[in-house]
Structure formats: structure tokens, C-alpha cells
């Protein structure tokens, strides 16, 4: 009720403001109306206040909150039967407790969102055998209500049992010092919420300030990273979700009671459904437990209902899970609560750019202004995002690969965990209207503030009466925008996925609109009714390819902060009034390729911070007054390849931090580089692909803040200054594709200033006891290739790099030189180089140890986002880490591992392995003998989702007991894979549809693999060495395409078995061995030499009834390519004929065969033209396709039909031109000549004597 009243007040004030701006407030009627609204609002607030007093409501109290706290109180007792996983985490926490012996008091925070298992992990550690060695142990449940005295008393009571007389904090502290001083003690503080620095400091002081030598070890569990960092004495430990398999194990243990009377079939059905339900828990143990309890003893249909619907709709799970998570919500500030609940308006799994989310918060008034003027609303919004991230209420979705740390941090996409999304939906309640498909809704609820409309094709039939108080409207997949969907209170209109034509003119009535996202509109210019939206702060019309200009009235958008016109490729100019957008801070004109200039008035945009002009290839220069943009921080001019110079005023952009000039091919950097070197605040400078850059001046030393310098592909740099060595700020020097001289010069400079030629970093020894690897400590790249790791001299200097904290790192290569001398064991070094959890690509090369340890053996929780792994050149590796538990792994490559013998179950790390693996590659594994394709007794495949499998040069490999599940195979020089007998009853053979075999030396009767591939549709065999097809081809009953590349030594013999191919009868059955069952074959392609082709054609070896694409000679396949040009312009068709001529000219192919003439040209020519063509060819026995092309070009005009050829042939001037062209061609002996379309235009469009001149455009300058 109070929230609704607050919304109504906000709406009323907005209405007043609009009427005031329109001059409507002066009339007596308007004043009376507004006075009445104010009176009604005061009465409503008075009523709410009276009800508060009547019911005794108190500020910041909630009965359900208190009840939940009481229910959540914990003890150290543990039931191991209900615990799944967390062994690896327990070992790591125990190891942390045992380390850092020099610290008297060690505090280890464990953080993660509610229900993730923090308390369970603390219990496992607390009850571990090693923890019994402590003299004293205490378990304290702290709760959201922090009480320092209660914590102290609880510890004392568990140590001594008596707390009488301890009433004040001083006596409690004294007692703790007396009891704990000189002893070892383990304390668990479970469920800490307090984030006040003073209170937390007092807690640490109470547990550490002892006179006697003591060893105090404290484990703290908390939900927020902020609290964890404030209380911890070491880096906080973030607890990740369980794997899907672990969730299933926990769910199964609870849902299936021991001794339950279930039949085998029923249990199998329930287990299959249960696995799907467990996957929906997304690794949250509390959710798996709640669902397990809810479905215990329930019928199959109820299990299916839960699987097929929102899993949290059941009251049991809602009561168990969401109240626990709501405790975190209750601790938020009022504004943060609004920001969080709004995130749930979007669908589950939706990704949103953090900047767009912040702008929507601002548009809704959820971000309060700061009394400090320099703190903008966006900065406060960033603070709110970081708070939600720290509480795990939103998550990073993925990182973009920008080069600077700040850009990477600010360019993340955000998403919500499903549980948090459900919490948000429960909080937002009836304020959210969901309209999906053709489902009707009732608008009788007056509380709707937000609406999400999905997959609608007929809004008129569904939206009968749109809520009048709607603040935000998000529409997806709507073919036509209906005005009835809009309400006058609307502040956000998001049409991001509509692609629906034009905005209605009456959108101008939405006077409260602050945020309009309408990409891909079909307007030819920004509608004037949009420019009347005076409160608009964000306008996105990106991808609206028809927009050619902006109206002069754009200057009415005085409050506009963000304008996105990127991809408006027909936008050619901006009006002079554009400079009146005085508050504009972000302008995106990327890929507006026809925009040729910026208005001079742009210098008035003094608030502009970010300007994106990349891909504006029409811009030749910037306004002379461009330097007046004194607050500009980011400027992207990449691929403005017609930009010729920078204005003299450019050097006055003193606030510029990011400048991208990559691909500015015509920019005169010989002059402009000096101007750039005046920008002293520059942090990122990209000059890659700039051919005019031939020297880096000494003045580059002025760039004291330069962090990244990209000179990639600048081939002509001749001068590289020594002053670059003095730039202590420079951490990234990108010189890929530069001269060897420059690369050597950069290496010489690097040790002096720790400059990194990233992404590649070569470890070098700097002394007998140190290397340069600590240079990586303070940089945060998105990609990193560390080579020559054998030069690292100690694990301490490797550990100092702290890769795990480089959250921007998405790609990592760790490479040793295999035969080089080591100073540190590879296994020990690798253990110190643990990557961050955001890593997506990992390559390990040259690793010489025979085993792995540390994070490599527990990669699933350490690297949950890993997508691709490559293991290359591991000469001593016999066993691999359990990669199977990496839930997001999609690509895996094993290459050059000479003693690796078996791919077994240990490779999986348990069942449920490799759920998302799509590509698996094995290359040069000489000793690999066995791959166990099934990993459990119930037939679970090692790779259940495999799409592509490549086995290359694995001569001993056999697959047991059956073929792996894969859709596409490539097998090279791995004969055992093809000759092995497999389990015929396996369903895996039904998956394979495409197979490419090369360099197989087996006899035709040894190709047994084909016997187990009944579903194979496409078969390619390269470099076939035998004189007979494999016998087992008869088993490929589903084959649709067969391509065979025959060895030149066997082509003569191969023609013998081609006789069998002529025996296909009209009923699509082959009656002659060896191809009896290939009834579905539609495409057959056999590569033969020219002589064999002629033999086959002469003896009619191409007669195949059910093959749609007959086996063809090379020439006929080229003809087929020409025929694809049918229906295109005549000049395009003629060009294709000429290309064919050029291809065949080398083999002396002529056009004496009239059948070939018909194949190529009949569909383009009338009967008269065919007669003409035949006469042309009959008149010259030696005519080639090149000659014919030249003749046809002479007789053709672009856009004319072939029927005009005869008429033009009768034209005297044309005959002269034709004959002259043939004479010139004969005299010059040019074999390939192209008459360009421009030449044809000039020839056909003139009436003067120059028409008789033929313009020749040869393929090469010669």
C-alpha cells in the first residue's frame, strides 16, 4: 500500500511537471484538478499512517524475517549421509588453515549466495580429523542481527561452560584473552551479515589482541563479497555451485527412500525425469534438497509436471528456498531493492549490458542523485551493480575482449541465476504483467508497473485494456506496434527485438518517456514525434538502415544523454542544430558509412564523454573546432580509412584516455603523431594497420599514463625511440606483424621498464635467481600467452603473478620448451599458475611432468566457464586430469603425447561427464591403444553430445566396446579405427551422418567400420590407394553422397569396377555387387584423370537411375557451376562462362562437342541465337571457350535479353568491333581477357565513333 502511494506521488509530480512545461498550470480548472489530487494523496497517506499505528508496525522489522532467522540457527553437528561433493573445497580450506603459520589470527571468509552450501562446508572442515588437534573449538551462529557481546559469550560458553557475570564487552574481552591466550583455537562464525567496518574491526580485535602467543583460526561464512573482504585476513574463498551430476546425486538420495517399492521400469522413468529436474537447480544444494523432499513418494505425473513447469511454483520448495534468499534482500537499501527487483522483469537467462541496465534504473528514478556534483548517476549505478555482483544476485555473463582493464570491467553482460530471478519475481509480485503468446490477461489489477510482452502476433486480440500506470514496457517479437500498448506514465519503451517497421506518430504523447530502444526501424529519418519527447535521456535507433538524416528539431531533446545511431548506413549528415544537445555524453555513430562530415556545431557538445565513429568510411576530415570537446574521454575512429588528417585543435583533447585509429589507411601520421603525443592523459592508443606510421617520435614520452600501445601490422616503422624505455606506465605493447627489427628493439626495451609485448610474453632470466615473470603481476589482459616457462627460477615469483585474480583473462597459453633445462619442476610451477575462474580457453604445451596436481585435478570448481582445452607436446604424460567434470567444455584437443596409452573412465572424473563437449580431436598419439567409449554399466557414453570427432595419425587406437556418439568424423592414417569389430547393438552408430577418411592403407575386405554405420549419409574417401572399393560399402544403406579421390596409380584399374555402377535399375535397386544396397545415393563424385574420364564416358559408365547428381568429369562439374548463374544478369553469366574457359584452357578443351554447347548456353538463347551460335562455332574448328566469351561480350549489352544477340550480330559496326577484337586478341596472344561492366557501359551508351573501340581489361598488368 505504501509503495503504491509512493508510485502515485511520483506519477502526480511527473504530471504536474509536464503541464507546467506546457503552460497548462495557469488555468483555474487545472489548478482545481491538481489541488484535488493533492488532497486525495494527503488523505491516503494519513490513512496509511493510521493503519501503521493501529497494527503496531515498526520500522525495519518483519515477522517472517524473525521467524526465518530462528529457523536458520545452525550447529556444528553434521549428517554426512546428505552431503554430496565439497571434498575438494574442504581440502583447500584445511590447507589454508594449516598454512600462514606466522599469523597469530587467521580469518578465512567463505562467501556465496544463500543455499549454496557455505555452512555445510564449514561443518565439514570443523569436524575434520585434522581440526581435532586444536586445543579449543567453538561454533557461533551470528545471524543478520550482529551482537558482539553475544558472539563473545557464545565462544566462552563452549570453552568453559559458564558466562555468569559477563555483562559488558570489556569483561567478555578479558575472559576471552584469559581462555584463549597461549592456546590454539578454531572458531566458526556462521552467517555473518554485518558490513560496518567499525563493528567488524571490533570483532577482529576481540579475537586477536592477546598478550600471550596464540594461534587463532577463524572461518567466517557470509553471503556478500563486501563483508568477506572486510573481515578476512586473506583472499576470500568463493564457493561455487555443485555440478549437475552432484545435484542429481543429492536429489536422488532424498527423493528415493531406501527400501521404496518401485519397479525397475518406473524407477528408470523417474530417474530420467529427476536428472532434468536436478539440472534446473543449477548447482544449488538447498534447491535440490527442497525438490527431493517435495517429490518423495509422488507419482510420475507429478514429477513430469515439475520438470515441465517452473520448478519453484510448488509451495514446498518456495517456502524452503525463497525465504532464505529473502534475508539478503531485506538487508538491501531501499533503492537497491528496487534495482534488484527490476532485474527480474527480463526473462530467465536474459543477458543485458550493464550500462543499459543502469540507464533503465536511472530512467525509473531508482538511482538517487549525490550531493557531490562530480559523482554522476551512472557512477552510483555502477556502485549498485557491484553490490549486486558481490551478493551474487546478478552474475557476469561473459567478457568482451577489449584491451584495457577498465573497458573490460565496464563492458560485461549481466544475467541472473534462476533462483535469484525467482526471488526477484516473488518480490516484484503483482507489479509485473507478463503477456506471452495468445494468452489473455486482465487489467483489473491497478498495480501493474512493468510489462513484458513476448512472442505476440496479434496484440489487438490480447491487450484489451493496457494498465494506465505502466512505467516500463518490454516487447519482443512483435510484428506491429500498437499504440494501445502505451500508457502516458511510460518511462521505458524497449522494442529491442521487434524489428517491426515504423514507430507510430502518437508516440509523441509519451511525455514521461526517458528510455526508448527501437533498433532496426524502417524510417527514412528520425521521426519528429520522437524529438518532442523532451525528457528522453536514452535513444537507440541502431541498425535503422533507411535513416538518411536527422530532423532539425532534434535539438529539442535537451535532456538526451545517450544516442545510438550505429549501423544507420544511409545516414549522410547531421543537422547544425545537433550541437544544441548540450547534455549528450555518449554518441555512437559506428558504421554510418555514408556520413561524410560532422557539423561544425559539434564543438558545443561539451558534455560528450564517448564518441564512436568506427567504420565511418565516408569521413575525410574532422571539424576544425573538434578540440573544443574538452571532456571527451573515449574516441574510436577505427576503419575510417578515408580520414586524411586530424585538426590542429585535436591536441586540446586533454581528457582523452582512449583513442583508436586502427585501419585509418590514409591518415597522415607522419604529421599527426606529434599532435597525438600531446594527449597526456591517454591510456590506450591503437595505431595498428596505419601504413603511414614510419616513426614513433621522442615526444611519445609525454604520454605518462599510456598503458596500452597497439602497433600491430605497422610494417614500415623505421624509428623506435629510446624514450619508450622510460615510460613506466606502459604495460602492453602489441607488435604482431611488425618488422623483425622492431620486435627485437621492443624485446631489448622490455626488461628496463617491465613493458609487455602482449598477448605473447616470453619468460627470460634476469639473473641467476630471478626471471621477468613478475612483470605480469600488475597487468590484466584478456589474452595471455606465456612462453619459455622453463626460465622461471622459483615458484614464489610465479605465485606473485597471481593469475587467479586476473578476472579479465579469457584465454591463457602456458608453454614450456620441452627439451630445455628447468629451474623449477613443471608440476610445481603449474600448480602456482592457477587461472581465474572466468577463463574460457586453456592451452598447455611442452609440459614435461608425468602427472598433474593442484587445480588441474579439480578444474570443475576452479574453472567453471572453460570452453576449450588444448594439451600439446606432453612427452611424459600417461594420465590426464578429469576434464569430464567441466560442465561448459565444448572443445578438447590432445596432440603429440607419445606415451599416452588409454582414454579411460578416470578421464571423466565420474558419471555425467562431458555434457557439452562438441569437438574432440586426437592428433599424433602414437601409443594410444584404447578408448573406452562407455563409462558406466548403464551405457552412459563418455561424450554424449559430441558433434565432431577427428582422429589423426593414431595408428594403434581401437574404440571399445562400441563407436562413440558423434555426428561427423574425420579419420586420417588411423587404420585400426576402421578395421576394428564393434558392438553392433549400440545406438551410437545411428548418430554418425558424415565421415571423411584419408590415407587409409587397408585392403578392401578390412574396412569393417562401414558395417556399423547404417545411418551414414555422406562419405568422403581421399587418396584411395586400392584397385577395388571396400567390400563393406554394401552396408551403407542410408548413403546419399559418395566422394572418392582416387590415387593416380590406380585410376586405370578403378574404371573396371565402375562398370557395376551402370546396373542400377529403374526401381532404384542395385542388382550387381558390390553396391547392392545403396538405394538412397543421390550424389556420387569420383576424381579421375582426363584419360579415365573419356574412357568412362565412351563406355557409358555414368548411367545411374537413383543418383541425382551423376558422377561427372571435372569439366562437367565446372559446367554445373556455370549453370548456377542462370537467372542472373547476362554480363554475370558471360563472366561465368569466361571463368570456365580460363579453368579449362590449360587442358586444351575445345567446343567441337555440340552437346556441351547446349548444356552451357541453351537456357539463355532463343532458337535464332542458337543458330547463330552454332554457325559461329562451325565456322571455326579451333574455337575455344575464351574465343566464344570474347565474341559473346562483343554481341552483348548489360540488361538486354539474349534475344537481341541476332539483331546485334547483323549490325555492321558490331561485326567490325567483333572482328577487330578477335584480331587484337590474336596479335597480343592474351589468353584471358575480361571486358569490365564499366567498359560495356561506355561502349553501349555512346553513339559516336568511339563505339568501335574495345576496352580490354586483362587479368594481370602483363
Question: CA angle, 1111 as apex, 1107 and 1113 as ends, to 5°?
Answer: 155
Dist. CA 235–CA 220, nearest whole Å: 12
Average pLDDT per 10 consecutive residues for the chain, totaling 1262 residues: 62 63 57 66 69 58 52 76 79 79 83 86 89 89 86 86 78 85 89 88 85 85 88 86 83 76 78 84 80 79 78 49 69 88 88 90 91 86 87 65 37 75 85 71 67 66 60 78 68 79 79 90 82 92 90 91 94 92 95 93 94 95 94 95 94 95 92 92 93 89 89 86 74 78 70 60 79 80 87 86 85 90 89 90 93 84 91 92 88 94 82 85 93 72 86 91 86 90 63 87 85 84 78 79 67 43 30 42 55 52 45 49 50 56 48 44 49 53 56 50 40 37 36 35 38 30 28
Dist. CA 846–CA 762, nearest whole Å: 14
- Position 775 scores a pLDDT of 78
939: left (phi over 0), alpha (psi -120 to 50) or beta: left
Which has the closest alpha carbon to 841: 812, 818, 820, 815?
Answer: 812
Asked if residue 544 lies in contact with residue 519, where contact means CB atoms within 8 angstroms, the answer is yes
CA torsion sign, 432 to 433 to 436 to 440? Answer: positive
**Cβ atoms < 10 Å from Cβ of 219:** 25
pLDDT in tens, 679-688: 999 999 999 9
1199: left (phi over 0), alpha (psi -120 to 50) or beta: left
Strands 413-415 and 136-143 turn out to be unpaired
**Cβ atoms < 10 Å from Cβ of 296:** 12
Dist. CA 880–CA 988, nearest whole Å: 25
Helical pair 315-330 and 63-72, crossing angle rounded to 10 deg: 100
Helix (H, G, I), strand (E, B) or coil at 852: coil
Query: What are the domain boundaries of the chain?
Result: 2-59, 69-240, 245-322, 334-416, 993-1112, 1126-1258
Asked if residue 1069 lies in contact with residue 1103, where contact means CB atoms within 8 angstroms, the answer is no
Dist. CA 587–CA 695, nearest whole Å: 32
Three cell numbers, residue 1083? 550424389
> Which residues are CB-neighbours of 69 under 8 A, at least 6 positions away?
143, 144, 145, 327
E-strand stretches of 711-861: 732-734, 760-762, 765-767, 770-771, 783-787, 811-815, 841-845
Print burial letters for 430-454: b (CB count within 10 Å at least 16), e (below 16): ebbbebeeeeebeeeeeebbbbbbb
- Position 887 scores a pLDDT of 86
Quickly count helices (H) and strands (E) in the chain.
Answer: 37, 42
DSSP label of 1254: P
Q: Which fold has domain 69-240?
A: Rossmann fold (3.40.50)
Asked if residue 511 lies in contact with residue 18, where contact means CB atoms within 8 angstroms, the answer is yes
722: left (phi over 0), alpha (psi -120 to 50) or beta: alpha
Print burial letters for 1119-1146: b (CB count within 10 Å at least 16), e (below 16): beebeebeeeebbebbbbbbbbbbebee
Dist. CA 339–CA 387, nearest whole Å: 11
CA distances from 990 to 96, 436, 853, 914, 1037 (A): 50, 38, 39, 20, 12
> Which residues are CB-neighbours of 872 under 8 A, at least 6 positions away?
843, 844, 845, 846, 893, 895, 896
Dist. CA 492–CA 512, nearest whole Å: 9
Question: CA angle, 670 as apex, 664 and 672 as ends, to 5°?
Answer: 70
End-to-end CA distance of the chain: 86
Strands 770-771 and 765-767 turn out to be antiparallel
Asked if residue 1087 lies in contact with residue 1113, where contact means CB atoms within 8 angstroms, the answer is no
> Which residues are CB-neighbours of 183 under 8 A, at least 6 positions away?
135, 136, 214, 215
Dist. CA 1243–CA 987, nearest whole Å: 66
E-strand stretches of 498-555: 515-517, 538-540
E-strand stretches of 999-1050: 1018-1024, 1041-1046
Dist. CA 398–CA 14, nearest whole Å: 38
Which has the closest alpha carbon to 711: 729, 728, 694?
Answer: 694
Strands 413-415 and 395-398 turn out to be antiparallel
> Which residues are CB-neighbours of 869 under 8 A, at least 6 positions away?
841, 842, 843, 883, 886, 889, 891, 892, 893
- Position 1199 scores a pLDDT of 41
Three cell numbers, residue 975? 587404420
Asked if residue 32 lies in contact with residue 14, where contact means CB atoms within 8 angstroms, the answer is no
Asked if residue 311 lies in contact with residue 409, where contact means CB atoms within 8 angstroms, the answer is no
Question: CA angle, 570 as apex, 568 and 575 as ends, to 5°?
Answer: 85
Dist. CA 1196–CA 663, nearest whole Å: 40
Q: Does the bond joining 1074 to the residue before it have cis omega, within 30 degrees of 0?
A: yes
> Which residues are CB-neighbours of 91 under 8 A, at least 6 positions away?
none
> Which residues are CB-neighbours of 299 under 8 A, at least 6 positions away?
none
- Residue 142 burial class via C-beta count within 10 angstroms: exposed 0-12, middle 13-18, buried 19 and up: buried
E-strand stretches of 193-257: 215-222, 237-238
Placement of cell 558481490 in the chain: 390
DSSP label of 756: B
Q: What are phi and psi of 796, to 5 degrees?
A: -65, -45
147: left (phi over 0), alpha (psi -120 to 50) or beta: beta
pLDDT in tens, 991-1034: 788 999 998 888 888 888 888 888 888 888 887 777 777 878 77
* Residue count (the chain): 1262
Q: Does the bond joining 759 to the residue before it have cis omega, within 30 degrees of 0?
A: yes
Asked if residue 289 lies in contact with residue 117, where contact means CB atoms within 8 angstroms, the answer is no
Three cell numbers, residue 431? 507489479
- Position 644 scores a pLDDT of 93
Q: What are phi and psi of 969, to 5 degrees?
A: -120, 150
Q: What are phi and psi of 917, to 5 degrees?
A: -65, 125
Q: Does the bond joining 961 to the residue before it have cis omega, within 30 degrees of 0?
A: yes
Helix (H, G, I), strand (E, B) or coil at 690: coil
- Position 1124 scores a pLDDT of 53
Amino acid at each position: 500500500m505504501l509503495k503504491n502511494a509512493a508510485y502515485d506521488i511520483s506519477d502526480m509530480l511527473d504530471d504536474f511537471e509536464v503541464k507546467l512545461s506546457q503552460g497548462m498550470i495557469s488555468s483555474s480548472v487545472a489548478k482545481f484538478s491538481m489541488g484535488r489530487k493533492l488532497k486525495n494523496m494527503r488523505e491516503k497517506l494519513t490513512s496509511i499512517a493510521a493503519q501503521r499505528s493501529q497494527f503496531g508496525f515498526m520500522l525495519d522489522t518483519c515477522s517472517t524475517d524473525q521467524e526465518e532467522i530462528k529457523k536458520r540457527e545452525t550447529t556444528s553437528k553434521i549428517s554426512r549421509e546428505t552431503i554430496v561433493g565439497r571434498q575438494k573445497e574442504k581440502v583447500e580450506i584445511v590447507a589454508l588453515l594449516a598454512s600462514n603459520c606466522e599469523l597469530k589470527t587467521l580469518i578465512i571468509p567463505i562467501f556465496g549466495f544463500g543455499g549454496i552450501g557455505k555452512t555445510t562446508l564449514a561443518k565439514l572442515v570443523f569436524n575434520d580429523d585434522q581440526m581435532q588437534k586444536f586445543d579449543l573449538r567453538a561454533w557461533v551462529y551470528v545471524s543478520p542481527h550482529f551482537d558482539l557481546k553475544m558472539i563473545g559469550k557464545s565462544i566462552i560458553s563452549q570453552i568453559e561452560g559458564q558466562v555468569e557475570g559477563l555483562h559488558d564487552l570489556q569483561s567478555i574481552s578479558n575472559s576471552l584473552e584469559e581462555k584463549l591466550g597461549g592456546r590454539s583455537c578454531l572458531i566458526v562464525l556462521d552467517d555473518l551479515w554485518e558490513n560496518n567496518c567499525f563493528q567488524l574491526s571490533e570483532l577482529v580485535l576481540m579475537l586477536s589482541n592477546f598478550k600471550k602467543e596464540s594461534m587463532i583460526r577463524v572461518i567466517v561464512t557470509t553471503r556478500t563479497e563486501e563483508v568477506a573482504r572486510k573481515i578476512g585476513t586473506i583472499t576470500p574463498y568463493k564457493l561455487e555451485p555443485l555440478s549437475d551430476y552432484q545435484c542429481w546425486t543429492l536429489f536422488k538420495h532424498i527423493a528415493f527412500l531406501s527400501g521404496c517399492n518401485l519397479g525397475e521400469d518406473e524407477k528408470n522413468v523417474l530417474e530420467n525425469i529427476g536428472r532434468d529436474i536436478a539440472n534446473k537447480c543449477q548447482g544449488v544444494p538447498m534447491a535440490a534438497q527442497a525438490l527431493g523432499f517435495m517429490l518423495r513418494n509422488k507419482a510420475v505425473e507429478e514429477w513430469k509436471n515439475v520438470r515441465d513447469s517452473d520448478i519453484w511454483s510448488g509451495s514446498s520448495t518456495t517456502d524452503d528456498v525463497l525465504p532464505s534468499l529473502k534475508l539478503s534482500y531485506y538487508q538491501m537499501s531501499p533503492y537497491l531493492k528496487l534495482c534488484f527487483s527490476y532485474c527480474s522483469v527480463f526473462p530467465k537467462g536474459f543477458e543485458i549490458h550493464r550500462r543499459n541496465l543502469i540507464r533503465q534504473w536511472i530512467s525509473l528514478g531508482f538511482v538517487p542523485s549525490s550531493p557531490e556534483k562530480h559523482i554522476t548517476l551512472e557512477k552510483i549505478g555502477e556502485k549498485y551493480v557491484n553490490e549486486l555482483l558481490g551478493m551474487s544476485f546478478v552474475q557476469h555473463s561473459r567478457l568482451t575482449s577489449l584491451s584495457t582493464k577498465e573497458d573490460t570491467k565496464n563492458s560485461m553482460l549481466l544475467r541472473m541465476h534462476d533462483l535469484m530471478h525467482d526471488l526477484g519475481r516473488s518480490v516484484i509480485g503483482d507489479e509485473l504483467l507478463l503477456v506471452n503468446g495468445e494468452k489473455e490477461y486482465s487489467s483489473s489489477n491497478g498495480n501493474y508497473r512493468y510489462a513484458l510482452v513476448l512472442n505476440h502476433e496479434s496484440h489487438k486480440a490480447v491487450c484489451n485494456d493496457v494498465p494506465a500506470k505502466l512505467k516500463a514496457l518490454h516487447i519482443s517479437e512483435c510484428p506491429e506496434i500498437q499504440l494501445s500498448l502505451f500508457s502516458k506514465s511510460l518511462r521505458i519503451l524497449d522494442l529491442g527485438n521487434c524489428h517491426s517497421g515504423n514507430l507510430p506518430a502518437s508516440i509523441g504523447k509519451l511525455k514521461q518517456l526517458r528510455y526508448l530502444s527501437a533498433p532496426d526501424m524502417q524510417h527514412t529519418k528520425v521521426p519528429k514525434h520522437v524529438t518532442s519527447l523532451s525528457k528522453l535521456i536514452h535513444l537507440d535507433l541502431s541498425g535503422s538502415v533507411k535513416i538518411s538524416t536527422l530532423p532539425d528539431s532534434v535539438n529539442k531533446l535537451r535532456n538526451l544523454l545517450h544516442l545510438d545511431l550505429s549501423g544507420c548506413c544511409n545516414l549522410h549528415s547531421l543537422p547544425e542544430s545537433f550541437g544544441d544537445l548540450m547534455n549528450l555524453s555518449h554518441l555512437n555513430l559506428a558504421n554510418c558509412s555514408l556520413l561524410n562530415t560532422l557539423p561544425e556545431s559539434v564543438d558545443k557538445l561539451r558534455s560528450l564523454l564517448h564518441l564512436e565513429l568506427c567504420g565511418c568510411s565516408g569521413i575525410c576530415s574532422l571539424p576544425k573546432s573538434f578540440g573544443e570537446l574538452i571532456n571527451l574521454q573515449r574516441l574510436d575512429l577505427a576503419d575510417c580509412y578515408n580520414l586524411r588528417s586530424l585538426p590542429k585543435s585535436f591536441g586540446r583533447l586533454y581528457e582523452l584516455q582512449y583513442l583508436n585509429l586502427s585501419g585509418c589507411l590514409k591518415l597522415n601520421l607522419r604529421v599527426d603523431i606529434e599532435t597525438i603525443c600531446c594527449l597526456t592523459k591517454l591510456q590506450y592508443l591503437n595505431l595498428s594497420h596505419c601504413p603511414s606510421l614510419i616513426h614513433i617520435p621522442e615526444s611519445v614520452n609525454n604520454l605518462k599514463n599510456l598503458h596500452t600501445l597497439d602497433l600491430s601490422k605497422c610494417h614500415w616503422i623505421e624509428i623506435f625511440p629510446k624514450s619508450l624505455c622510460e615510460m613506466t606506465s606502459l604495460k602492453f605493447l602489441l607488435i604482431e606483424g611488425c618488422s623483425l627489427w622492431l620486435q627485437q628493439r621492443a624485446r631489448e626495451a622490455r626488461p628496463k621498464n617491465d613493458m609487455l609485448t602482449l598477448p605473447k610474453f616470453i619468460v627470460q632470466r634476469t639473473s641467476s635467481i630471478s626471471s621477468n615473470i613478475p612483470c605480469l603481476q600488475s597487468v590484466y589482459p584478456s589474452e595471455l600467452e606465456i612462453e619459455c616457462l622453463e626460465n622461471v627460477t622459483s615458484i614464489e615469483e610465479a605465485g606473485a603473478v597471481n593469475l587467479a585474480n586476473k578476472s579479465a583473462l579469457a584465454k591463457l597459453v602456458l608453454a614450456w620448451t620441452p627439451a630445455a633445462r628447468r629451474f623449477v619442476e613443471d608440476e610445481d610451477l603449474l600448480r602456482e599458475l592457477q587461472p581465474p575462474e572466468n577463463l574460457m580457453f586453456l592451452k598447455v604445451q611442452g609440459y614435461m611432468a608425468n602427472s598433474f596436481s593442484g587445480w588441474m585435478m579439480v578444474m570443475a570448481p576452479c574453472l567453471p566457464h572453460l570452453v576449450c582445452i588444448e594439451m600439446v607436446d606432453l612427452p611424459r604424460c600417461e594420465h590426464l586430469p578429469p576434464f569430464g567434470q567441466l560442465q561448459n567444455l565444448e572443445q578438447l584437443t590432445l596432440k603429440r603425447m607419445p606415451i599416452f596409452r588409454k582414454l579411460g573412465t578416470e578421464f571423466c572424473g565420474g558419471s555425467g561427464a562431458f555434457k557439452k563437449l562438441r569437438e574432440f580431436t586426437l592428433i599424433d598419439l602414437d601409443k594410444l591403444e584404447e578408448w573406452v567409449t562407455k563409462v558406466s554399466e548403464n551405457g552412459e557414453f563418455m561424450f554424449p553430445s559430441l558433434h565432431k570427432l577427428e582422429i589423426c595419425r593414431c595408428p594403434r587406437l581401437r574404440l571399445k566396446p562400441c563407436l562413440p556418439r558423434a555426428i561427423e568424423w574425420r579419420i586420417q592414417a588411423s587404420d585400426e579405427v576402421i578395421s576394428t569389430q564393434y558392438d553392433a547393438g549400440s545406438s551410437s552408430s545411428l548418430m554418425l551422418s558424415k565421415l571423411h577418411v584419408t590415407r587409409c592403407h587397408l585392403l578392401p575386405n578390412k574396412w569393417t567400420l562401414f558395417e556399423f554405420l547404417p545411418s551414414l549419409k555422406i562419405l568422403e574417401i581421399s587418396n584411395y590407394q586400392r584397385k577395388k572399393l571396400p567390400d563393406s560399402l554394401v552396408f551403407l544403406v542410408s548413403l546419399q553422397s559418395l566422394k572418392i579421390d582416387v590415387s593416380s596409380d590406380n585410376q586405370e584399374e578403378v574404371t573396371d569396377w565402375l562398370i557395376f555402377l551402370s546396373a542400377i535399375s529403374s526401381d532404384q535397386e542395385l542388382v550387381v555387387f558390390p553396391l547392392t544396397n545403396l538405394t538412397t545415393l543421390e550424389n556420387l563424385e569420383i576424381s579421375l584423370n582426363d584419360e579415365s574420364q573419356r574412357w568412362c564416358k565412351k563406355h557409358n559408365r555414368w548411367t545411374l537411375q537413383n543418383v541425382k547428381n551423376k558422377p561427372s568429369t571435372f569439366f562437367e562439374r565446372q559446367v554445373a557451376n556455370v549453370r548456377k548463374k542462370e537467372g542472373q544478369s547476362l554480363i554475370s553469366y558471360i563472366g561465368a562462362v569466361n571463368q570456365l574457359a580460363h579453368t579449362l584452357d590449360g587442358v586444351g578443351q575445345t567446343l567441337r562437342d555440340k552437346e556441351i554447347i547446349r548444356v552451357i548456353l541453351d537456357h539463355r538463347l532463343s532458337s535464332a541465337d542458337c543458330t547463330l551460335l552454332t554457325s559461329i562455332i562451325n565456322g571455326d574448328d579451333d574455337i575455344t571457350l575464351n574465343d566464344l566469351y570474347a565474341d559473346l561480350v562483343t554481341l552483348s549489352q548489360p540488361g538486354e535479353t539474349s534475344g537481341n544477340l541476332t539483331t546485334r550480330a547483323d549490325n555492321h559496326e558490331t561485326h567490325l568491333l567483333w572482328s577487330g577484337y578477335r584480331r587484337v586478341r590474336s596479335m597480343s596472344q592474351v589468353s584471358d581477357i575480361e571486358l569490365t561492366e564499366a567498359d560495356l557501359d561506355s561502349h553501349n551508351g555512346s553513339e559516336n565513333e568511339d563505339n568501335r573501340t574495345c576496352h580490354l581489361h586483362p587479368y594481370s598488368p602483363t
